[in-house]
Amino acid sequence: MTTSFLDAPAPASPPPTRRSSRPPRRRKPVLPWLLLSATLVVLGVFTGYPIVRLVVMSFQEYERAQLMGTPAEWVGFDNYVSILTDLDGFWTVLLRSFVVMVICVVLTMVIGTLLALLMMRLGKGLRVLVSVGLLLAWAMPPLSATIVWGWIFDTEYGIVNNLLTRITGDRWFGHSWLLDPLTFFMILVIIVVWGAVPFVAFTMYAGLTQIPGEVIEAAQLDGASALQRFRLVQIPYVSGIITVLIVLSMIWDLRLFTQVFALQTIGGDREATNTIGVYIFQTGMAQGHYGVAGAIGVIFVFIMMGLSSYYVRRTVQEEEL
Amino acid sequence: MSAVESRTVQAGLGIRPQAGPARTSGRGGPARRVGDVVWGLVAVAVFAMSAFPVYWMINTSFLPNSAIRGEDIAFFPTPDLFTMRNYVSVITDESRAAFTPAMWNSIWVTTLTVFLAMILGFLASLALTRFKFKGRRTFILLILVVQMLPGEAMFISLFRIIDSWHMLNTVIGLVLVYLAGVLPFTIWTLRGFVNGVPAELEEAAMIDGCTKAGAFWRVTFPLLAPGLVATGVFALIQAWNEFILALIIMSRPESMTLPIWLRTFQQANEATNWGAMMAGSTLVALPVVIFFLFVQGRMTGGLVSGAVKG
């Protein structure tokens, strides 16, 4: 209320009438901040402050000793230099994360779109069947999902090795899928894509059903084949949706943690299968190089901000902020 | 990323669900009928592939070790195989972190996160929609950007902050961290919902004699119910499934949440007991899966209506 007095118009202007046309909200700049206060505190303390600490830590020598109370020394850009010159460590992990991300995004988008087209083509009963299947995959917690896939591909008793033995006649029991980094990532991609496809499929389906039937019919009358209709009519209509889906999938797949971490625990060479999130965890929490991990974290934040800037800008435009 | 978040993303893209696609043509020649059969088979295959892991998890959880490790594949827990032993051993096993406290920790953390997120998110969305003030636009932008910050980058400094405040292994410490994680999304979504309710509705009620607050409570608030449900479900799934932060903050056996409890099965160095692990996975997954299947239909309409621009 104090503010509204301070902000009150000069006495020369006529006093506002009881039912002024001016909305009353304009006169209370305190109330909105009061409503926001709790949120501001939580976000400030548990998001803003950690970011500041992260940046500070990335410029310090921070090891286990510092955690015990030894004062941390400022080392300037030393942590960054050691990361950016670490070809076998950081760069390999970063490249690996990007390769996994690209494979996951491409597969998720292609399979998701194909499933959306399939659902367009199906009658109601079968469409519900497909939807229920996708919903189940969608609702599974990532950790449970990873453990189940780990069981499916288990070395000794997994159903995959069992079936392969039956089909090929060779003995597959004892074949470890997770030990070889290549097949480790194959299984990781299966887990991630399996969990991510439903969202893309449902969104694409919803988008495709928005296209007016007349447009497709007109194309059909003009003699366009199914493939041409898809490429020249349907895709342009949903191009906005596709772009956002790709950006979001890229962000989510680069942030993979639970699946990689749990799969490594089931079996697998941590060194050869780390992605960026897990690498930060290993460097910081497991090995105690907090300063270096902090610097990787800062670099990771920049990468994510760069990737999401397009999404943020687009949202701002659409919402006319 | 959860399904609920995705739903709202869809809403943000301006997608409205329809009853179904219009069939592109009514012709039904023999080629078309053959096609229908082929697509039907593909549909069944898709269902089988997406549902298989869930089915396999539940199936294995009811099998005895002899069947799990046998050369024959047991596709169903037939009466001669069916056993509850996996569940009993998982719930009562004394050798690792106990199930019951982990369950209660998860329930408490989830409930508090949902409750606080809805209250704070609601208040903040109110401020951002029904008031015009300096800094409003900046705050909305900030919310959008914060949403994209990778928690994976920050958990080390979060751990140190929580540690220095002696909040490690406390429910409230984890809840506050989760709250910071889900709030941006909650505010963003609820803001859409409040925007969707035209201010004229409230003004009409005020002309009829309601106070500003009264008009809000009686007119706008009931219309926000779907939005509150949607954001509540989002917070619930996030808090129930979250793994990394719980892993570093709740490390003591008695303060573990369910995902961390499930992880203790992996650490045992003897041959993996898949029956027990599947029973554990089922116990962790089932509440979310059932809940999600149950709300999904109701939520879709609500979330999409939140996207309607007022």
Q: Looking at beta carbons, which residues of chain A come within 8 Å of B284?
A: 141, 143-144
Domains of chain B listed by start with CATH number: 96-307 (1.10.3720.10)
Q: How far is CA B43 from CA A193, A205, A236, A320, B200, in A?
A: 18, 15, 26, 41, 47
- Cα–Cα dist A248/A243, whole Å: 9
Q: Looking at beta carbons, which residues of chain B come within 8 Å of A208?
A: 21
User: What phi, psi does B185 have (nearest 5°)?
Assistant: -65, -45
pTM of the predicted model as reported, rounded to 2 decimal places? 0.86
pLDDT the model gives residue B298:
57
Q: Is residue A253 part of a domain?
A: yes
Question: Quick check: A22 pLDDT over 50?
Answer: no
pLDDT the model gives residue A28:
60
Q: Where are the alpha helices (DSSP H) in chain B?
A: 3-12, 30-61, 65-68, 85-92, 99-130, 136-147, 151-164, 171-196, 199-207, 212-215, 221-223, 225-241, 244-249, 258-267, 274-307
Q: Which amino acid is at A56?
A: V
Q: Are A249 and A104 in contact (CB under 8 A)?
A: yes
- Cα–Cα dist A228/A234, whole Å: 9
Q: Looking at beta carbons, which residues of chain B come within 8 Å of A129?
A: 43-44, 47
Q: Is residue A175 part of a domain?
A: yes
Nearest chain B alpha carbon to A285: B156
**Residue B82: partners with Cβ closer than 8 Å, 6 or more residues away:** B62, B63
Crossing angle of helices B258-267 and B274-307, in 10° steps, is: 150
User: Which candidate from B22, B50, B121 shows the least CB-CB separation from A136?
Assistant: B50
Largest CA distance in chain A: 98
Which residues 17-36 of chain B have a CB within 8 Å of chain A? 17-18, 20-22, 24-25, 36
Output the domain CATH number for residue A192.
1.10.3720.10
Q: Looking at beta carbons, which residues of chain B come within 8 Å of A194?
A: 49-50, 53
Q: How far is CA B99 from CA A43, B78, B89, B156, B182, in A?
A: 32, 27, 10, 28, 26
Nearest chain B alpha carbon to A266: B266
Q: Which amino acid is at B123?
A: L
Q: Is residue A75 part of a domain?
A: no
> Based on the structure, what is the number of domains in chain A?
1
User: Which candidate from A50, A210, A217 shows the least CB-CB separation from B161?
Assistant: A50
3-state secondary structure of A141: coil
pLDDT the model gives residue B19:
46
pLDDT the model gives residue A2:
34
pLDDT the model gives residue B267:
63
Q: Is residue A74 part of a domain?
A: no
Q: Is residue A37 part of a domain?
A: no
Q: Looking at beta carbons, which residues of chain B come within 8 Å of A140?
A: 53-54, 285, 288-289
With CB atoms and an 8 Å threshold, state whether A142 touches B296.
Answer: no
pLDDT the model gives residue B1:
43
Q: What is the pLDDT of residues A194-212, one digit of tens each?
A: 999 998 998 898 888 888 8
Q: Where are the alpha helices (DSSP H) in A70-221?
A: 78-84, 92-121, 124-139, 142-152, 159-168, 181-208, 213-221
3-state secondary structure of B250: coil
pLDDT the model gives residue A1:
32
Q: What is the pLDDT of residues A234-276, one digit of tens each?
A: 888 888 889 888 988 999 999 999 999 999 998 888 889 999 9
- Cα–Cα dist A237/A229, whole Å: 11
With CB atoms and an 8 Å threshold, state whether B278 touches A151.
Answer: yes
Q: Is residue A8 part of a domain?
A: no
What value of ipTM does the predicted structure carry?
A: 0.85
Q: How many C-alpha atoms does A25 have within 13 Å on its Cβ side?
A: 15
Closest C-alpha among B110, B87, B108 to residue B99? B87
Q: Are A253 and A105 in contact (CB under 8 A)?
A: yes
Closest C-alpha among B224, B58, B51, B211 to residue B126? B224
Q: Is residue A48 part of a domain?
A: no
Q: Looking at beta carbons, which residues of chain A come within 8 Å of B289?
A: 136, 139-140
Q: How far is CA B86 from CA A179, B135, B274, in A?
A: 28, 56, 9
pLDDT tier for residue A59 given thresholds of 50, 70 and 90: very high
Strand-pair partners of A60: A74
pLDDT tier for residue A166 given thresholds of 50, 70 and 90: very high
pLDDT the model gives residue A239:
87
Q: Are B309 and B193 in contact (CB under 8 A)?
A: no
* Residue B234: Cβ within 10 Å count: 26
User: Which candidate from A134, A157, A207 shows the least CB-CB separation from B50?
Assistant: A134
**Residue A202: partners with Cβ closer than 8 Å, 6 or more residues away:** A116, A131, A134, B6, B10
Averaged pLDDT, groups of 10, chain B, 310 residues long = 49 50 53 84 95 96 91 88 92 84 95 96 92 88 88 87 92 95 91 84 86 84 84 89 92 92 75 89 91 68 36
Closest C-alpha among B180, B174, B163, B159 to residue B246? B174
* Domain around A273: 86-319
Q: Is residue A11 part of a domain?
A: no
Which residues 92-111 of chain B have a CB within 8 Å of chain A? none
pLDDT the model gives residue B216:
82
- Cα–Cα dist B178/B113, whole Å: 7
Q: Which amino acid is at B242?
A: E
